[in-house]
Amino acid sequence: MNTATRLGVYVLGLAVVFGGALGAGRAIGPAGAPLPAEDHSAMAPAKQTAEGHGDDHGGTTRQAASDTPGGLQVSDKGYALNPLTTIRAGEPTDFRFTVTGPDGKPLTRYEVEHEKELHFIVVSRDLATFQHLHPGRDADGVWSTKLTLDEPGAYRAFADFVPAGGSGLTLGADLLVAGDYEPEPPAEVSRTAEVDGYTVTLDGDLVPGRSSKLTLSVSKDGKPVTDLQPYLEAYGHLVALRAGDLAYLHVHPDGTPDDGKTAAGPEIVFYAEVPSAGDYRLFLDFQHDGKVRTADFTVQAGAGQPRPTAEPSAGASHDDDHTH
Ligand SMILES: [Cu+2]
C-alpha cells in the first residue's frame, strides 16, 4: 500500500474514532436502532475549514477527521484552550479557563453533548490520577470549576466540546504544579479494577486502527450489578489515554439507558478505536447507588498483533471494515 493510500485509511479511521468519541456510540448501535436527533453535530462539517490551516494531506473529505488524535494540541482548527489559573499542590482552587474561537474571542456557543457543553478531564502526566469535571460557564465564556491537585507535578487538562454548528474537538493543555515531584511508575497491564467495593473486569482487545469491542462488567460483593444508573445519558463513559503522549479518546457505550434494550449492567459494551499500538490507560465512569465512581485499567493495544509496517506483503490486511 502506498503512503497516500495508507494515510487515507488512517484519516478514515480517525473519522470513525472521533465520531465514536462524540456520541455516535449510539449511532453505531444495532442495525435499525433509531438515531437520536441531537447526535448529528459530531459529524457536521467544520465551519472554520474555509479559512484553511495549511493542510496538504489531501484527506479533506471528512472534516470531522484530523490527522492528529484528540487532546495533543492546545490549539486546533482555530480554537484554543487557555488556562487562567495557577494551581498550588493540595489547595482547592477555583480553576478558570477559556476556549477561544477562530475570531480570538472566548467561545460562548456550544452544542450540548451528554447533557453538558464541555467535559473537562484532568490527569497527572504519569496517568496515576484522573478527574472528570463539568465546569460552569459565565456569559463571557469563562469556564470555572473547583479543582484540587493534591501533589506537585505535571498534569494534562482536556476540554472535550463541540462548538455550535461545528464538529467535536478535544484540546489539551499542561498544568504545572510547583514542588518536589515523584512520578508513579507506569501501571502494569491490568484487566480488573477495584473501586469502593466494586470489581470491574474488562474483556476484549484493542486492535489499532479498528473498532474494537470492549466489555466492562461491574460486580459488587461477588454479585453482578444489574441496576447501574444512567450518568450523563449513558451507563458508562470511557476515556482512553495513550501512554507516552496522552492522546485522548472518549468513548460512549453501545446502547443507551432509554432505548428499551440496553440492560443496566452488569455489562457495559464499548466500541473503541485506538490510533496505534501501545499501552493505553482506560478510565471508566459509572454510577451506582447515587455515586459516580471511576475504575481504571491498563491495556496493551496490538498485543500479539503483527505490526502493519512489519509485513510488507500483507497490504490487504489494511483494508479494514470500519463499519463493524
Ligand atoms: Cu463529562
Q: How far is the CA of 120 from the centre of ligand 1 (A)?
A: 6
Q: What's the grid cell of residue 89?
A: 499542590
Other C-beta atoms lying within 10 Å of the C-beta of residue 252: 28
* Grid cell 455515586 in the structure block, residue: 291
pLDDT at position 175: 98
Q: How far is the CA of 53 from the centre of ligand 1 (A)?
A: 29
Contact 295, 200 (CB under 8 A): yes
pLDDT at position 116: 94
pLDDT at position 304: 59
- Strand partners for 294: 285
Q: How far is the CA of 55 from the centre of ligand 1 (A)?
A: 31
Contact 253, 286 (CB under 8 A): no
* Grid cell 506483503 in the structure block, residue: 313
Contact 169, 142 (CB under 8 A): no
Q: How far is the CA of 206 from the centre of ligand 1 (A)?
A: 23
Other C-beta atoms lying within 10 Å of the C-beta of residue 300: 15
Q: How far is the CA of 178 from the centre of ligand 1 (A)?
A: 27
Q: How far is the CA of 136 from the centre of ligand 1 (A)?
A: 12
Local confidence pLDDT in tens for the 324 residues of the chain: 444 444 443 433 333 343 334 333 333 333 333 434 333 333 333 333 333 333 333 333 334 444 789 999 999 999 999 999 999 999 999 999 999 999 999 999 999 998 999 999 999 999 999 999 999 999 999 999 999 999 999 999 999 999 999 999 999 999 999 999 999 998 899 999 999 999 999 999 999 999 999 999 999 999 999 999 998 888 999 999 999 999 999 888 888 898 888 889 899 999 999 999 999 999 999 999 999 999 999 999 997 554 444 444 444 444 444 443
Q: How far is the CA of 113 from the centre of ligand 1 (A)?
A: 9
Amino acid at 50: A
Q: How far is the CA of 168 from the centre of ligand 1 (A)?
A: 14
Q: How far is the CA of 114 from the centre of ligand 1 (A)?
A: 7
Q: How far is the CA of 196 from the centre of ligand 1 (A)?
A: 21
Contact 275, 208 (CB under 8 A): yes
Q: What's the grid cell of residue 272?
A: 473503541
Rounded to an integer, what distance in angstroms lies between the CA atom of residue 294 and that of residue 236? 10
Q: How far is the CA of 160 from the centre of ligand 1 (A)?
A: 8
- DSSP E strand boundaries for 165-247: 169-177, 192-195, 198-203, 212-220, 223-224, 237-242
205: left (phi over 0), alpha (psi -120 to 50) or beta: beta
Contact 108, 100 (CB under 8 A): no
Cα 221 to Cα 198, 228, 293, 301: the distances in Å are 7, 15, 16, 30
pLDDT at position 11: 39
Q: How far is the CA of 75 from the centre of ligand 1 (A)?
A: 20
pTM of the shown model: 0.74
Rounded to an integer, what distance in angstroms lies between the CA atom of residue 94 and that of residue 146? 5
Other C-beta atoms lying within 10 Å of the C-beta of residue 178: 11
Rounded to an integer, what distance in angstroms lies between the CA atom of residue 71 and that of residue 241? 9
